[in-house]
Amino acid sequence: MNIKHVCVSGPYVAISTSDVTKVYNLKKDSSSCIWSHAHPHNNDGYKVTSLEFKPTFDVNEDGSYLWIGTNKGELMEFDLLKGTQGLSDRRSNVHTSSVNAILRCRHSLWTLDESGKCQVWLPENGEISMANTPKTFRVLPRWTFAMTAGWRLWIGQGRNVQVYSPLQLYGDSFNVTPRSIALPPGKAVGNITCGTVLPTDKDRVFLGHDDGKVSIYSQRDCTCLDVVPINIYNIVTLAGVGEFLWAGFRTGMIYVYDTSVTPWRVCKDWDAHHKTKITHLIADQTSLWRAGVGIVLSVAEDGVLKTWDALLMDDWLGMNVIFDCADE
């Protein structure tokens, strides 16, 4: 079973395939899910193209509501506490093309479609609701990569990077960079595939490329600081874990890099998903205090999800619970 989309909030992990969306609780038995919803495939059916947990002001309620975006431009909210019939809200009039990203930033949600329409959902009366009127902006159409860094939106299209500020904080205009950020002289990269930030580094943004290079940008002035080749293989996914940069490859390998030294030092590498492409690598910053252990999740295209000890203790692999979603 090919897992298309993954999101995490503390102990809760949501995964979506072309047929079903499921939610697991890492504190419970890892062999069964706590919530699932089958997606229709008739003439009125849709495909899930994005998902994210809705932020709440009470952190103990995080993971209670799941937003799903579809290829038809629809948004759906599910109340996970109500079980499989917990569709609590639905909007079909805010996007006209596939909603390919739902991003969390502070207490807001940003939904982006493939045409470049960005909807900013802010809390009203203490919560985010689809009944609210979102703020509408425009970014690059046909973008292929999107992530949040600080309070800003980083958009990738091929090799190009532009930065936006949907919350318009600290004097920002929405278009932070009026044109793509230039690379240093003599530097070249492939297409952008992924990106992340390090929780301990308040400035640098790391973007992975399909030629095995990582480009490094400054959040402060939105310039490219350097380009570092780290592998001969396509970098599929990146995650920032403490002061370390984790990278997942199509070979099934995970590498952990110390970026505080030059050249970067490989702290650890291992065969996480034997010869199977890693599609997602996610570090949840709240898992240490909500789930009782720092967790990094890796997902391979064969439907196997594994969790790893983010603190790099006990031979660096202190936790290795496996969800084989293909067996369910």
Average pLDDT over residues 297-308: 87
Report if residue 7 sits inside a domain: yes
Residue 126 burial (10 A CB sphere; 0-12, 13-18, 19+): exposed
- Domain match, 168 and 284 both: yes
Q: Poorest-confidence range of 94-108, 236-250, 308-322? A: 308-322
Residue 204's domain comprises: 139-328
The pLDDT score that the predictor gives to residue 301 is 86
38 strand-pairing partners: 20
The yes-or-no verdict on residue 265 having pLDDT over 60 is yes
Average pLDDT over residues 44-52: 90
Average pLDDT over residues 245-273: 93
Average pLDDT over residues 216-221: 96
Q: What is the pLDDT of residues 135-166, one digit of tens each?
A: 999 999 999 999 999 999 999 999 999 999 99
Share of the chain above pLDDT 90, in %: 64
Q: Which two tokens stand for residue 67?
A: 């937003």
Distance, C-alpha 274 to centroid of its chain: 23
- Domain match, 103 and 211 both: no
Q: What is the pLDDT of residues 2-15, one digit of tens each?
A: 788 999 887 889 99
- Domain match, 11 and 152 both: no
pTM comes to: 0.92
Average pLDDT over residues 170-196: 95
3-state SS, one letter per residue, for 52-109: EECCCCCHHHCCCEEEEEECCCCEEEEEHHHHHHCEEEEECCCCCCCEEEEEEECCEE
Q: What is the pLDDT of residues 54-103, one digit of tens each?
A: 998 877 777 899 999 999 999 999 998 876 567 889 999 999 999 999 99
Q: Which two tokens stand for residue 47?
A: 């495909």
The pLDDT score that the predictor gives to residue 85 is 62
- Domain match, 169 and 278 both: yes
- Domain match, 169 and 33 both: no
Mean residue pLDDT across the chain:
88
Question: How far apart are alpha carbons 150 and 218 in whole angstroms?
Answer: 11
Could you tell me where the beta strands, DSSP code E, fall in 106-191?
A: 108-113, 117-121, 135-138, 145-149, 152-157, 160-164
Query: Radius of gyration of the chain from Cα atoms?
Result: 19
Specify the number of domains making up the chain.
2
Question: How far apart are alpha carbons 95 and 73 in whole angstroms?
Answer: 5
